[in-house]
Structure formats: structure tokens, C-alpha cells
Amino acid sequence: MDKAFVSDEEELYRSVRAPLDFDEYTYTEENELVITPKAFFDRGMEPSVDRAILRGGDPELSKKSVADGVVGLNAGAVRSIIGIQTVTGDKMQTVTKHAVDVKYDPLEENDAHALIIVDPHFYGSEAKKKKTFKQLRVALARLANEGGWLVEPASNSKEHSIISRTLIE
């Protein structure tokens, strides 16, 4: 296996912070857990994921804290995301389409670390970058919801979260 290349067949793990206050997931009226685009927020606009193959197929190892949940994404599905585009404000309304990719980015403390990136990178004003990045986050949340949870967050009951928030306040 060439560790430097993330193949289309690979599964990726994304840790989702457990407290509902982070808004990384929510509940439907049917009490189903739904991943929100905030689960893919990243200040550098390159959401991090773990390569399942380098985590031994154990999503628990990708949790940032014990209460977190983990969702799975297929690398090929991530790469096939379309519709991420920046529209310039000029008279021609120029449209730049961004290709989505997964790049291996090992860290000293996490050899499985990878980044979801776009090419070309987001550009323009901060507002324009954020708007375009949100398109990517929405698409990633859709993929994650299609795949479902690999590990549900510990505080996965709506009532428990409401009680917890009431006690904190």
C-alpha cells in the first residue's frame, strides 16, 4: 500500500463533537441524529479526517474526546463532490469550479491524518471564501448523513442534552 496516496476506495473518519451546543449535529422531529455542516468546520478551510486503514478500521480511535461521535465518508465520494464554486463580482460573473480532493497529511501524534482540500484553494474576500467553504461543508454533511454514524455521540438523547443545558445555565 502506498501510504502517500488516499485511494478512492478508502473510508475516512471524522470526529463530531458531542455537546449539542457545538451544533455539529441535531435531531429531527423523529428524534434522528443528523450531522450538520458545522461538523466540517475548519479555520484553515481544510477539514481533517482520519484514514480508516491507518486506524486499523476502528473509528473509536478517531474521537477527539470520549463523548464524541464519528462519521464515515468514502474518499471517492468526497472527490466526486461537484458544485463547489466561487463566483466573482465582476461584470462577467466569472465562475471558478473547485475540485475536491483528499490529501494525506500525517501528524506526529496522528499518522492517519488527512485533509479534505479544494483546488484551486478558496479565494476572494473573507465573506466569499466562507460562503464557498460552506458549500463544501454542506456537501460533506450530506455525504456523512447518507453514510450514517459509525459511533454515535455519548449524549445522543435530545432529552439528555436539554437537561444538561438546563443544569449548566
pLDDT digits (tens, 9 = 90+) for 81-125: 999 999 877 666 788 999 999 999 999 999 999 999 999 999 988
Does residue 5 lie within any of the structural domains?
Answer: no
Q: Does a structural domain hold residue 6?
A: no
Residue 155 pLDDT class (50, 70, 90 cuts): low
DSSP 8-class letter at 111: T
pLDDT at 161 > cutoff 80: no
Count of domains for the chain: 1
Residue 1 lies in a domain: no
| pLDDT (mean) for 140-154 | 95
**Nearest alpha carbon to residue 152 among 59, 74, 75:** 59
User: Which three cell numbers mark 48?
Assistant: 481533517
Range 4-21 average pLDDT: 92
Helix, coil or strand: residue 49: strand
Residue 3 lies in a domain: no
Residue whose C-alpha cell reads 464554486 in the numeric block: 85
Amino acid 91: pLDDT: 67
* Average pLDDT over every residue of 144-167: 66
**Structural domain boundaries, residue 103:** 11-168
Q: Classify residue 4: in a domain, yes or no.
A: no
Task: Using DSSP bridges, classify how beta strands 25-27 and 33-35 pair: parallel, antiparallel or unpaired.
Answer: antiparallel
Grouping H, G, I as helix, E, B as strand and the rest as coil, residue 45 is coil
| Strand partners for 95 | 87
Mean of the per-residue pLDDT values of the chain: 89
| Residue with more model confidence, 90 or 63 | 63
For residue 127, is it within any domain?
Answer: yes
pTM of the shown model: 0.88
Which contiguous run of DSSP H or E holds residue 136? helix 126-147
Which cell goes with 69?
Answer: 461521535
